[in-house]
Structure 1
Amino acid sequence: MRALPGCILVLSLTGCSWIHSPASSTANQHTAITPFSSPLTSHKPAVRPLPAKLYKSAEELVGKPFRDLGEVYGSTCQVNLQDPPPSIAAARKDMQVRAARMKGNAVLLHQCEMVRSVAGCYAQAVCQGTALKVTQ
């Protein structure tokens, strides 16, 4: 009975290597295909959305048709005193990127503030706004 777990362990470590049969060598085979490279797949870097345009007041949107996509927020956190302090600019940029992920191209800023005594953060910068899709 003690040998059964050992045999299962050995079989699981070897996997299906005993099933593999060697490839027949022919004169036409010049390239070897490795398991992790395929000529059909190309690795492109992930495309990040550009940050949405920031509108600081509703008056800037007068005369521009737009659609409201919902509330967005951005934040940065200073976990302890050794970390760099949070910045309003970084929180605003985070909010703009979140709006772009919602397929928005603009953000109407409502407010930004520094917050103390937040769970998990020594200090935190938070910005709130509305994601918009502005058509020109």
Structure 2
Amino acid sequence: MRVLPLCLLALSLTGCSLLHKPYKPVEPFKPTPQTELTRVKPTPRPAMVKLYTDAGDLVSKPFRDLGEVYGEDCQASAQNSPPNINTARKRMQIRASSMKANAVLLHHCEVVSSAQGCYRQAVCQGSALKVSNQ
């Protein structure tokens, strides 16, 4: 009676090994030859946007107002690094350059504690300007 379970165990172990396919070595990956080198273009840097903090600096210069722009830096929780006004100002300048502006008149920057989704937030607002060189 003890022989029957041992025979079934031996048969099941050998039966499973017969189902597997024989080992076939894997061939190494061969890269396809490229006839032409592909160059990756770097992303263009945003144009330089001059920051004006005083409207009196623009009195003698002709300019066109392109609209309001803002920049923000968010501190997600109390453990994160505090919001930085310089980062918010730089993001405002980047948004202005995407509007084809070459200057920003800064209205104000402040750190706000009651921002949605942020523990604290630095916000800068200004006007995007296209200043002529005349």
**TM-score, length of structure 1 as denominator length:** 0.70
Higher helix share: 2
**2:56 maps to 1:55:** no
Residue of 52, 72, 78 corresponding to 1:81: 78
Q: How does 1:37-52 map to 2 (within 5 A)?
A: 39=36, 41-52=38-49
Deviations 1:41-71 (A, max 9, x none): 4211101213410000110001111111110
Task: Report deviation, 1:83.
Answer: 1.0
Deviations 1:21-43 (A, max 9, x none): xxxxxxxxxx934xxxx727421
Partner of 2:115: 118
Residue 42 of structure 1 aligns to a residue whose secondary structure is coil
SS in 2 for 1:91: helix
Q: Distance in 2 between matches of 1:95 and 1:51?
A: 12
Who is 1:7 aligned against? none
Q: What residue is the counterpart of 1:13 in the other structure? A: none
Q: Distance in 1 between matches of 2:38 and 2:132?
A: 36
Residue in 2 aligned with 1:100? Answer: 97
Paired with 2:40 and 2:85, the residues of 1 have a C-alpha distance of 35
Q: Kindly, what percent of the aligned residue pairs are identical?
A: 61
Deviation at residue 128 of structure 1 after TM alignment: 0.4
- Structure 1 spans left out of the alignment, 5+ residues: 1-30
Counterparts of 2:93 and 2:83, CA distance in 1: 17
Give, as a single letter, the amino acid of the residue that structure 2 aligns with 1:120: G
Cα deviation, residue 112, structure 1: 0.7
The question of whether the paired residues in 2 share the 8 Å contact of 1:73 and 1:127 is answered with: yes
Describe the SS at the equivalent of 2:57.
helix
SS at match of 2:70: strand
Q: How far apart in 1 are the matches of 2:82 and 2:47?
A: 25
Distance in 2 between the 1:113 and 1:91 partners? 10
Count of aligned residue pairs for this structure pair: 102
TM-score, structure 2 length as denominator? 0.71
What RMSD over aligned residues (CA atoms) do the two structures have, in Å?
Answer: 1.6
